[in-house]
Amino acid sequence: MRSQAMFFQRRAGEALADPRLQKNFAGLKDKFVGMRARAVANYENDFEELRDAGQAIRDRVIDNLDVWLELFEEKATARGATVLWARDGSEICEHVIAIAQRHGVTKVTKSKSMLSEEAQLNAALAAAGIQPVETDLGEYILQIADNEPPSHIIAPAAHKNLDEVADLFAATHQQPRKTEIPALTREAREVLREHFLSADMGISGGNFLIAETGSVVLVTNEGNGRMVTTLPKVHVVITGIEKIVPTLADFATLMRLLPRSATGQEISNYVSVCTGTKGEADADGPEHTYFVLVDNGRAGLVGSEFQAMLRCIRCGACMNHCPVYQTVGGHAYGWVYPGPMGAVLTSLYTGIENALDLPHASTLCNQCGVVCPVKIPLPELLRKLRERQTERGLRPWSERLALSVWSRLAQRPALYALATKLGVRYLNWLASGRDRIAVLGVAPGWTAGRDFPAPQGRTFKELYSSRQEQKA
């Protein structure tokens, strides 16, 4: 997906002006936040201890990522899968198209894969004459809505309401318009069932790769992950190189964190651990299994000050709890991943200079850091990105000038005291006796939609020294 992250401010403004979108995202917040809180409270042990364990598992992998990748590759290959590697999105597309052509595939069913969004795989498949069919209900809705991008990593169509989905289905399926969510869901089930039964290849992402067994794990509620890994004769897994966990026991631990953090469930309906290919006598399963292990920026984070980001298990909790995401929605972030994790990943994977607003699209309130199941210090990473922007001279001249003036003043107490004293006098003059200022001369934008409070009395320094004098 081509990044639109440079347009954050404009897109956020549009989202704020759209009452329908505001309503759709308010619902998302209410449901996900409450359900997670309940699931964490109901966990029959110390959830913090679980988060520590989750962090430790992910750190152990990333600290020795090369070794774990090799061990995974050995085991997966020994079980009959083919392991391929892709530096970037275009190599993903090349691999997948070559696999499809080798097996004479004309239609693929897809379970959710964010990497296929990174690679714009659907467009590449279509251009090669291969029909991609998204099967996660949310992704399917977006595909028939002329390939809209997802606005949430686990609820991709969160920005669409029932009416919009009903219109889309009626137009696409040529059936009478339905208005009940269960009826719409059944209609999608019936349309997609035909595709499941007729596609020759399934493409999925992977929630985890297990080095011990050479397996991929898919976590879904709809059952589409099971379909694409059971019915077609070819299964292609596309995952980032960071998705490895060492052992089945580690995977079991992470499964106590992921559904609780994502949807507030203790377990998702389907957790499929897929290993190798169909055995000779097996009743079902793919004859050919491929793993495409993708870098696309991940290797560059290893060993860097941003390495902690590679722990991410894509639960979505950080965006569900983010006041900025809740207000502007997912599309404003402009690339594949929204919310706090998206602000970090988009900056790092598409270039700090291509996402200037994103590290600032945060109040640093640390809600995200508190809920992240693998304890990624998201506000700290956002702050570091701001520092990198400043070091590279990527901030606007006015901001840099203001900060350098402030830093000079702050180093000279006498000058600082004088400047604040003058400032207070100026603001009091603007307020001309009232307690608020309607138009701030130096920053009219700030007062466009609100008043600026007038200073009440003297500066802090003046008050402090008079107190000291009284004491003496």
Partner 1 sequence: MSSRDDILSRVRANLGVAAGDEARRAAARAVLETPAIGPRPSLPDDLAARFRMKAEAMASTVDRVATPAEVPAAVARYLAERGLPARAACWPALAGLDWAAAGIDVAARAANGDDPVGITGCFCAIAETGTLLLASGPQTAATTSLLPETHIAVVPVSRIVPAMEEGFALLRAEQGFDLPRAVNFVSGPSRTGDIEQTIVIGAHGPYRVHLILVGDA
Smallest separation, CB 256 to partner 1 (Å): 7
Smallest separation, CB 47 to ligand SF4 (Å): 14
Closest to ligand SF4 by CB, 130 vs 343, is 343
Nearest to 224 by CA among 240, 254, 239, 203: 203
Smallest separation, CB 332 to partner 1 (Å): 20
Q: 246 touches which of partner 1, ligand SF4, none (CB within 5 to 8 A by kind)?
A: partner 1
Q: 316 touches which of partner 1, ligand SF4, none (CB within 5 to 8 A by kind)?
A: ligand SF4
CB 141 within 8 A of CB 160: yes
Spell out the alpha helix ranges (H) of 263-412.
317-320, 323-328, 339-350, 367-371, 378-391, 397-410
User: Which residue, chain included where needed, has tokens 């090349």?
Assistant: 94
Structure tokens at 429: 């003059």
Q: 326 touches which of ligand SF4, partner 1, none (CB within 5 to 8 A by kind)?
A: none
Cα separations in angstroms, 277 against 70, 97, 184, 289: 20, 20, 35, 6
Q: 469 touches which of ligand SF4, partner 1, none (CB within 5 to 8 A by kind)?
A: none
In the chain the first and final C-alpha atoms are separated, in Å, by 67
Would you tell me which residues interact with ligand SF4 (CB under 6 A)? 261, 312-318, 341, 371-374, 376
Smallest separation, CB 394 to partner 1 (Å): 23
Closest to partner 1 by CB, 7 vs 85, is 85
Sorted by sequence, the CB contacts under 8 Å of residue 253 that are 6+ apart come out as: 50, 53, 54, 57
Smallest separation, CB 313 to ligand SF4 (Å): 5
Distance between CA atoms of residues 431 and 435, nearest Å:
7
User: Which residue, chain included where needed, has tokens 């270039």?
Assistant: 351
Strands 215-220 and 208-210: antiparallel
Neighbours of 140 (CB within 10 A): 24
Closest to ligand SF4 by CB, 62 vs 424, is 62
Closest to ligand SF4 by CB, 112 vs 288, is 112
Q: 315 touches which of partner 1, ligand SF4, none (CB within 5 to 8 A by kind)?
A: ligand SF4
Q: 372 touches which of partner 1, ligand SF4, none (CB within 5 to 8 A by kind)?
A: ligand SF4
Closest to partner 1 by CB, 219 vs 344, is 219
CB 169 within 8 A of CB 175: yes
Closest to partner 1 by CB, 294 vs 318, is 294
Strand partners, 244: 209
Sorted by sequence, the CB contacts under 8 Å of residue 30 that are 6+ apart come out as: none
Structure tokens at 238: 């596309």
Smallest separation, CB 117 to ligand SF4 (Å): 15
Q: 124 touches which of partner 1, ligand SF4, none (CB within 5 to 8 A by kind)?
A: none
Radius of gyration, alpha carbons of the chain: 26
Nearest to 50 by CA among 273, 268, 317, 250: 250
Closest to ligand SF4 by CB, 152 vs 235, is 152
Structure tokens at 380: 């700290």
For 253-315, strand residue ranges (E) read 270-275, 288-294
Smallest separation, CB 293 to ligand SF4 (Å): 19
Smallest separation, CB 225 to partner 1 (Å): 9
Closest to partner 1 by CB, 8 vs 32, is 32
Q: 8 touches which of ligand SF4, partner 1, none (CB within 5 to 8 A by kind)?
A: none
Closest to ligand SF4 by CB, 97 vs 310, is 310
Q: 364 touches which of ligand SF4, partner 1, none (CB within 5 to 8 A by kind)?
A: none
Smallest separation, CB 104 to partner 1 (Å): 23
Sorted by sequence, the CB contacts under 8 Å of residue 126 that are 6+ apart come out as: 132
